Amino acid sequence: MRTLLLLAALLCALPLRAASDITPLELVQDTSSRMLAALRDEREAIRKDRSRLYELVSTIVLPYFDFERMSQWVLGRNWRTATPDQRTRFVEQFRNLLVRTYGTALADYADQKIIYLPFAGDMHAPTVKVRTEIEQGGSTIPISYSMYRSNDGWKVYDVAISGVSLVTNYRSSFNNIIRDEGIDSLIRQLAEKNKS
């Protein structure tokens, strides 16, 4: 699973070009190159201190994933009944969870080959899917990124690995916790997991 999450983290390193000048496919290609270069350059520092990796992921990832939109989709109807404070705390802890998950995947990156599939959508559509594959052990793992055009450029709101949506996967497990223990318990559990 760590390798599967690698590409999700790679996408998050937006290129230095203006957001309006880049297509979604170029975004994926450019971000992968930048993230892989950062991994190579900082390998020794990351090996000595894992928090350096989380700092890099936070700096690169946070501005370009729409964590609030992802949080709304993950919580589903529970988002509507949550208080503003609960929403804010959930978004923060969910963001931290993803940063740590991506960081763990990046730490174990073993130079798998990334294949960028031809873009089949309409570049002017409000939402698009960018498809990639990771070559691993003689097979490929499909990873697609659901993105939308925001006022700040393209943003990721979901990642599907082998056809399984990150948002849908978390929604199922989080809704079970909310149903049994409440949203405050979920937020508390995420905070504890993020500290460990």
Q: What is the CATH number of the domain that holds 62?
A: 3.10.450.710
Per-residue confidence (pLDDT) for residue 47, from 0 to 100: 86
Q: Which domain holds residue 87?
A: 2-195
Per-residue confidence (pLDDT) for residue 5, from 0 to 100: 47
Mean pLDDT of the chain: 82
Query: What's the pLDDT band for 87 if we cut at 50, 70, 90?
Result: very high
Of 163, 145, 110, 143, the C-alpha closest to 27 is 145
Using DSSP bridges, classify how beta strands 113-116 and 153-161 pair: parallel, antiparallel or unpaired: unpaired
* CA–CA distance, 17 with 150 (Å, rounded to integer): 16
Lowest mean pLDDT across 117-126, 127-136, 167-176:
117-126
User: pLDDT tens digits, residue range 5-51?
Assistant: 454 445 444 444 445 568 888 877 877 777 777 777 888 888 898 88
The long-range contacts involving 137-141, CB below 8 angstroms and separated by at least 24 positions, are 140/115, 141/3, 141/4
Choose from 26-35, 50-59, 130-139, 169-178 the range with maximum mean pLDDT.
Answer: 169-178
Lowest mean pLDDT across 2-11, 83-92, 136-145, 185-194:
2-11
Residue 86 has pLDDT above 80, yes or no: yes
What is the number of structural domains in the chain?
Answer: 1
